């Protein structure tokens, strides 16, 4: 299985799940590329977008984004 790597938001046709982690307080939230694509454009790089995001808990801009393959419904 090839490694799952996302560079731009439009990679993998936007079919993946994003885990945003705040480096300051370790607050974690899960989102979808659709949300960020509408905000920043689909050609934006994932890491650039993550840097622009503000943590909803502590308000700092120290988010890192990790892309994971989409979770399939019905499987554990």
Q: Which residues bind Zn ion (CB under 5 A)?
A: 22, 24-25, 27, 55, 57-58
Smaller CB separation from Zn ion, 27 or 66: 27
What is the C-alpha end-to-end distance of the chain, expressed in Å? 20
Closest separation in Å from C-beta 34 to Zn ion = 23
- Shortest separation between residue 2's beta carbon and Zn ion, angstroms: 32
Q: Which is nearer to Zn ion, 18 or 55 (CB)?
A: 55
* Cα–Cα distance for residue pair 8/45, rounded to 1 Å: 4
Given the complex with Zn ion, which of 8 and 29 has the nearer CB atom? 29
Smallest separation (angstroms) from Zn ion to the CB of 1 = 33
Q: How far apart, in Å, are the Cα atoms of 65 and each of 44, 46, 59?
A: 13, 7, 16
User: CB neighbours (10 Å) of residue 73?
Assistant: 5
């Amino acid at each position: 299985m090839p490694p799952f790597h996302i560079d731009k938001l439009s990679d993998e046709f936007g079919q993946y799940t994003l885990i945003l982690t705040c480096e300051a307080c370790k607050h974690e939230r899960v989102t979808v590329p659709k949300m960020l694509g509408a905000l920043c454009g689909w050609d934006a790089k994932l890491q650039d977008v993550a840097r622009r995001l503000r943590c909803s808990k502590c308000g700092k801009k120290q988010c890192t984004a990790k892309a994971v393959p989409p979770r399939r419904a019905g499987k554990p």
